[in-house]
Each structure stands twice: as C-alpha cells, then as structure tokens.
Amino acid sequence: MAPKHPSDTARPLMALLYDKTVRSIIYQVLVFGGVFFLGWYLVSNVQTNLDEQNIATGFGFLDREAAFGISESVISYSPQDNYGRALAVGILNTIKVSLTGIILATIIGTLIGIGLVSKNWLVRFIGKSYIDLFRNVPLLLQLFFWYALITNGLPGVRQALNPLPGTFLTNRGLYIPIPADNPAWFWVFIAFVVGIIGSFVLRRWSFKRLEATGQVFPHLSVGLGIIVGLPILTWLLFGAPVEMNVPALQGFNFKGGLNMSPEFFTLLLGLTVYTATYIAEVVRSGIQSVPKGQSEASTSLGLKPSWTMRLIILPQALRVIIPPLTNQYLNLTKNSSLAVAIGYPELVSISNTTMNQTGQAVEGVAIFMTVYLGISLLISVFMNWYNKRMALVER
C-alpha cells in the first residue's frame, strides 16, 4: 500500500477554507463571538462597579424629587417636581431652540445662498466672507464669544439699548413687544392652520381637475389667499385687537413683552449664524445644479417665468437641496446640546445635572442618546419618504 500523502487529507480542509460561503460563515462567527464577548465583559464590569458604588440600576430615579431649579421652561416646573418632569422640560427647551433656530437659519441661509450666485461681485464677496469667517471657527467658541459679549458688553437694565421702539437689549437678554393677551390670537392661529390644510386640499383638487378636464385652476394664489385671508378675517371678526404688550421698566427689571434670556438668545444667535453658512452653500449648489438650458428651453416653450420657476427650476433644485438641508437641520438640533456650556437648560444640560445629583450616569446618557436617536430616525424616515417622492424616476 502506498503511503498516504499528507496533503491528501489536508486538501479538502483547505478547499473548505477557500470556499466563499464557508469563509464568510467563519468570519461572521468570529465577529459575532468578539462582539458578544466584549459586550458581556463590559456589562459584567458595569454590574460589579455599580454594585460596589451602591447605585441601583433602573429608571426609578425619574419619580424622585429633582430639587433643582430650571431658569426657563415651556411647561410649568418647580424644584418639587420629579426628575422625569425636569427631563421633559429639557426636551421641550431643546425643541424650542432648535425649531426657532431652524426657521431663522433657513431664512438667512437662503438669502446668502442666493447672494452667492448674484451677478454683483460685491454681494458674492460679502457672502463668501461671511461663510469663510463663521464656518472656520468652532461653534463652541462662537457661543462663548456671544455669551461674553451679551453678559459683559451690553449695558444693564437701566441703560438698556433701544434699537427699535419697544425693543430693549440688555445684559439680561432681549425684550420685544408681543400682541397683548386676547382670545382672538388663539383663533387667528387656528384659522392659520385651517388655511394651510385647506390650501393643500385645494391643491389636490386642482391637480385632479387638471388631469380630468385639462383646465388650469390658479391653486397657488387662491391657496395663499386662504392662508393669509382666513386669519385676517378671524382677526377682524374679533374686533381687530391692536393692543400690544410692550416691555417697560418696572423696579429693577423689564415687565411685559417677550423676554429672551441671554442663554437662549446666545444659543439662538450662535446656532443660526453657524448653520446659515452651511445652508447657504446647500442652496447655492442647488441653484447651480440646474443647467441654464432648462430655463431657456422652458422660456422657448412659451411658459411664463413664474411657471418656469415653479415647474422646471424649483423641483430640480429642491431635489438637490432637500437631503443636505435636512442634514443641516439635524446638525443644528444636535449642536443645540452645546448649550450645556453656557447654561441654557436643554436636554443634555438637565441630564447632566441629573447625573451629577443621582449618579445614574448610564441611565442619564441612555435617555438623552435615545431622544436624539429618536429625532434622527424620525428625520431620516421623513427624508427617505421625501427622497422617494422627489427622486428622478429612471427607466
């Protein structure tokens, strides 16, 4: 009998090792084993460490009395309330500053973005300088700068700056007049919402009619009329209240009007100025992505300029603009967490206080990470939906 060659037995094994499926299974088992072991090791360490420090795990602490004050909140809050409510205040404050910031940054960013494609060299120069300047300096530094400028640089309440009638700028924040309390405003707001819904319904209907009969209905102008007209009509029905609640100096501080604390004002200013630089670039690239030939072709087909804009240019520009714009909204929301450094009580700041008081670091970090992840996922779900709707349908 011929001696067996050693490679005869080894070969099937080696061949197995070179098989694609087998190899991928081996890789995955290795990765899974590694991740599983690491996770188990970390969790067991956390358990031992927490037991040693006598910290009970779990979210029971949310029901305990918070016993710390929060300087501003959308809902009522007092130090006797529990940690759960304090965190809710933080979430609402995050939403408040993010939403306001998103609106302001979109307006400013769009204006600058349009300026970047202007024919006027000076306008382009100012736009570019603004972007270069504010984009290349860390946001945290900008926040510190604005905060120092507002709290140290602005005058006290008695010498308040008065840039516009009824508006006061002091080291205690910004005071602006708001319409005086009147039931009318609530119904005006309702009318506004109804107007928006109504104009959407109208748009649907006008498209259906266009497809069925070929007749064009001016849904845009009529819709705009409903959105603006309905609130005005409601306002008139309530006897057109014009009374304003103007801030006035009383004792040591201003009373009345709308007060933005220095912290809120700083954060809003910083987030707006910083994010607007990114939005401007997004808007510019969107506008420039539409070839000039498109508008020329549309004009030569005899479309009105407003139709060219609405039907040809905007849909193509928005396809490029919306995804990165949404990313910037998300960034602004996440960047609002820097408020922890200047003392605006948003989610991270309040979680931080909670963690310091209770020692529940794992739960605290878990809570605010979950909230932000939730916001991110919501936005990305919306994005995917919108992308599908807007995306170019190719063969």
Partner 1 sequence: MTSMIPSQARPTGGTTWKRSVRWLRNNLFSTPLNSIVSLVCIYVLWEILSALVGWGLVHASFSPSKEFCGEVSGACWAFVHDNYRFLLFGTYPAESQWRPLIAIFMLLAGILVSMNRRFWSPWLAVAWVVGFFVMYIILGGGVLGLRPVSSNNWGGLTLTLILAVVGIAFAAPLALILALGRRSEMPFVRVICVVFIEVFRGVPLISVLFMASLMFPLFLPDGVSINKMLRAQVGIIFFQAAYLAEVFRGGMQAIPSGQYEAADALGLSYWQKMSKIILPQALRLVIPPTMSTFISLFKDTSLVTIIGLFDLLAATKAAINDPTWRQQYIEGYVFIAIIYFCFCFFMSRYALYLDREMHKGMSH
Chain residues in the site for partner 1 (CB under 8 A): 24, 27-28, 31-32, 35, 42, 45-46, 48-50, 52, 117-126, 132-133, 135-141, 144-145, 148-149, 152-153, 288, 292, 334-335, 337-338, 340-341, 348, 352, 355, 361-362, 364-365, 368-369, 372-373, 376-377
DSSP result, 139-165: HHHHHHHHHHIIIIIS--STT-B-SST
Q: How many CA atoms lie within 13 A of 357 on its CB side?
A: 17
By beta-carbon proximity to partner 1, the closer residue of 218 and 291 is 291
By beta-carbon proximity to partner 1, the closer residue of 149 and 318 is 149
Distance CA 157, CA 172 (A): 7
**Shortest spacing between CB 277 and partner 1, in angstroms:** 12
**Shortest spacing between CB 230 and partner 1, in angstroms:** 35
**Shortest spacing between CB 315 and partner 1, in angstroms:** 19
The dihedral formed by the CA atoms of 327, 329, 335 and 340, expressed in degrees to the nearest 10: -150
Radius of gyration of the chain (CA): 29
By beta-carbon proximity to partner 1, the closer residue of 194 and 371 is 371
**Shortest spacing between CB 235 and partner 1, in angstroms:** 35
Residues with Cβ < 8 Å from 152, sequence gap 6 or more? 171
**Which tokens is 272 given?**
């707006």
393 alpha carbon, distance to own chain's centre: 29
Distance CA 112, CA 274 (A): 13
Distance CA 154, CA 294 (A): 51
By beta-carbon proximity to partner 1, the closer residue of 232 and 365 is 365
By beta-carbon proximity to partner 1, the closer residue of 190 and 369 is 369
**Shortest spacing between CB 274 and partner 1, in angstroms:** 10
**Shortest spacing between CB 35 and partner 1, in angstroms:** 6
By beta-carbon proximity to partner 1, the closer residue of 234 and 308 is 308
**Shortest spacing between CB 32 and partner 1, in angstroms:** 6
Nearest Cα to 349, choosing from 370, 368, 376?
368
By beta-carbon proximity to partner 1, the closer residue of 107 and 141 is 141
Nearest Cα to 83, choosing from 370, 264, 350?
350
